């Protein structure tokens, strides 16, 4: 599934139950990066915990999306902030705001 002309996608919930653990992971951003090349703004809740913060592999096998500049991550669990930042900057090299 591809949305080649999609520029803005808001998947953030208007309300969510207490103790909710999002099912979208960092790896779930890879198909969006690949199949939505014009995506400029993305908002979602995601599980930003990293299972292997010391991995040397390029996320997504080197897939990038240079269009995305704005990422809004709402109330998401986070581990290893440096590893998450590395992951996001590898996939979205022009990201200006998180």
The residue ranking higher by pLDDT, 1 or 62, is: 62
Note whether 54 and 82 are within 8 A (CB).
Answer: no
Q: What is the pTM of this model?
A: 0.85
What would the two tokens of residue 25 be?
A: 């992971």
Note whether 25 and 51 are within 8 A (CB).
Answer: no
Counted residue by residue, the chain has a size of 98
Q: Which of 45-49, 63-67, 92-96 has the lowest mean pLDDT?
A: 45-49
């Amino acid at each position: 599934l591809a949305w080649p002309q999609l520029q803005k996608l808001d998947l953030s919930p208007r309300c969510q139950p207490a103790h909710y653990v999002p099912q979208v992971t960092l790896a779930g951003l890879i198909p969006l990066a690949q199949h939505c090349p014009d995506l400029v703004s993305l908002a979602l809740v995601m599980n930003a915990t990293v299972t292997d913060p010391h991995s040397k592999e390029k996320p997504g096998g080197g897939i990038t999306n240079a269009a995305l500049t704005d990422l809004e991550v709402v109330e998401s669990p986070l581990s290893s902030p440096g590893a998450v930042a590395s992951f996001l900057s590898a996939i979205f090299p022009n990201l200006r705001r998180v």
